[in-house]
Amino acid sequence: MAIGVYPGSFDPLTIAHLAVADAAFDTLGLDRLDLAISYAALGKEHLDDASVQRRLDGIRDATADRPWLEVVVVRARLIVDIADGYDVVVMGADKWSQVIDPLWYDDEDARDAALARLPRVAVAPRAGHRVPPELELAVPEGLEHVSASAVRAGRTGWAAPAAVERSHR
């Protein structure tokens, strides 16, 4: 059984998140893909139990038609730790840029050691970020500009409908 993980805050879940999950499932030979939400993601605010539960409920509502897609909460903060034990890790090109940036590590050797621990990597294109061709996950065109921050700023057409409805209750 091949299992992948797609870490993120999914605040809220967007149509691009769903397209990336669909592409990963369809093209990577996965039996299951876990959307992994961290209580304390690097560069993001720490989440309390109520906000995590609201987000989880919204994501589960929005993904109910994808039985292969699970939602998990993790305490790990680093992609390499979240991906431990999985066959594939899926991420956007913006996150990949952070993963390979030595500034997030003690030094380049630490970065290289972390990269060596990753399972197979699949990277979805994002505007303004380069993706190595051997890592690129083919997703439908036109989604590279979709972002959760734009949804939070009012671009609600980019939200996964059930997720945004639930998160505003």
Write out the residue range of the structural domain in which residue 112 sits.
3-163
pLDDT at 40: 66
Q: Report if residue 113 sits inside a domain.
A: yes
Q: Report if residue 169 sits inside a domain.
A: no
Residue 104's DSSP bridge partners are none
Q: Report if residue 18 sits inside a domain.
A: yes
Q: Report if residue 66 sits inside a domain.
A: yes
pLDDT at 167: 46
- Provide the CATH number for the domain around residue 113: 3.40.50.620
CA distance 143 to 162: 19
Task: Give whole-number Cα distances, 145 to 58, 94, 163, in Å.
Answer: 22, 11, 19
First to last CA, the chain: 37
Q: Report if residue 168 sits inside a domain.
A: no
pLDDT at 163: 54
Q: Report if residue 74 sits inside a domain.
A: yes
pLDDT at 54: 84
Residue 3's DSSP bridge partners are 32
Q: Report if residue 40 sits inside a domain.
A: yes
pLDDT at 55: 82
Q: pLDDT tens, position by position, for the chain (169 residues)? A: 999 999 998 988 999 999 999 999 999 999 999 999 987 655 556 566 777 788 889 899 999 999 999 999 998 988 999 999 999 999 999 999 999 999 989 999 999 999 999 999 999 999 999 999 999 999 999 999 999 889 989 999 999 987 544 444 4
Q: Report if residue 100 sits inside a domain.
A: yes
Q: How many domains does the chain have?
A: 1
pLDDT at 41: 58
